[in-house]
Structure 1
Amino acid sequence: MPELHLVSPAAPAAASDFSTDEIRAMQRATIALFARWGLSDEQASRLLGDISVRTYQRWKTGTFGRVGVDLAERMSNLMGIHKALRLLFREAERGYGWISRPNADFDGRSALDVMLQGRITDLMRVRRYLDARRGQW
């Protein structure tokens, strides 16, 4: 397996908080999560900041390459969304399904629709929404 390097030109110090092992773990977890969500490779590519579909397909075979700060932060937000869903729903399948169901708080769109707009702030919006829902308890 090729060596993985976190690329962070002119990145804030917080970007270096991710170790190579953490990046690899997030890549594997992201692949598994997207499979649970039933995403196409094209949708996965979009959520990951428009990485090439071919790059995502290589990830699925275990071939990981360089990861920039934006991609690391996207995966971190996706893991936060996953964690929040697991805490909100006792049955994991309900949480996995929630991502694709229409939601009045997103003007009738699903969380997936919101995230597929492609900006990192769209991922953050869904994560903040879920974290706020968790905070009500």
Structure 2
Amino acid sequence: MSLAYAYPASRFEPAVVPDLNDRGIREQLSASAIKGFFRLAQAWKLRDEDACTLLGGLSSSAYYEWKKKPAKVLEVDRITRISYLLGIYKALHILYGDDLADNWVSMPNTNLLFGGKTPLSYMLSGGLPAMQILRQLLDARRGGV
């Protein structure tokens, strides 16, 4: 039995996923990703130490250099982290008003995932997998999944 008939053909074009292993693509995305991250850090009122942790343990000196000159080409891990964080930021702004969206990550949360802690502490301790799970949770809440 052929599985070709199991599912109807999609009417949507497949999403184009950028090849982050390609340095040229990362060069195109990096400056705007860094600028977006700093806007997010300001909106979320992140401490510099927490921002460095979310970026995968970036050193303070590198962090301040990024602030001065955001033209650095990001590694795959860092651009992926920023992508998840910006997706979380966007989902929060779709779900809630601006004030709540920007404060949500710093508010204690009773969802079993967070155990009464803040979503920010969840991401700080869980790293990239926690960011991915949080992004999926928010996308599901807004009906994007």
**Same structural fold, with TM-score higher than 0.5 when normalized by the shorter chain:** yes
| Unmatched segments (≥5 aa) in structure 1 | 1-12
Q: CA RMSD in A?
A: 1.8
**1:97 and 2:111 are equivalent in the alignment:** no
Q: Is the 8 A contact 2:109 2:119 kept in 1?
A: yes
Q: Which residue type is aligned with residue 127 of structure 2?
A: R
**1:24 and 2:28 are equivalent in the alignment:** no
Q: Counterpart in 1 of 2:44?
A: 37
Q: Is the 8 A contact 1:86 1:92 kept in 2?
A: yes
- 1:75 and 1:119 map into 2 onto residues whose CA distance is 12
**1:14 and 2:14 are equivalent in the alignment:** no
Give the ranges of 4+ consecutive aligned residues of structure 1 lying more than 3 Å apart after TM superposition. 16-19
Instruction: Name the TM-score, length of structure 1 as normaliser.
Output: 0.82
| Unmatched segments (≥5 aa) in structure 2 | 1-17
Which string of whole-angstrom CA distances, capped at 9 and with x for unpartnered residues, describes residues 39-83 of structure 1? Answer: 111100000000111111111122443311100100110111011
Q: Which is higher, the Rg of structure 1 or of structure 2?
A: 2
Instruction: Name the TM-score, length of structure 2 as normaliser.
Output: 0.77
Q: Is the 8 A contact 2:81 2:131 kept in 1?
A: yes
Q: Which residue type is aligned with residue 122 of structure 1?
A: A
Q: Counterpart in 2 of 1:131?
A: 139
Greater shift in the superposed pair: 51-60 or 75-84? 51-60
Larger relative contact order (C-alpha < 8 A, sep ≥ 6)? 1
The percentage of counterpart residues that share the same residue type is 34
- 1:109 and 1:29 map into 2 onto residues whose CA distance is 26
Q: Counterpart in 1 of 2:72?
A: 65
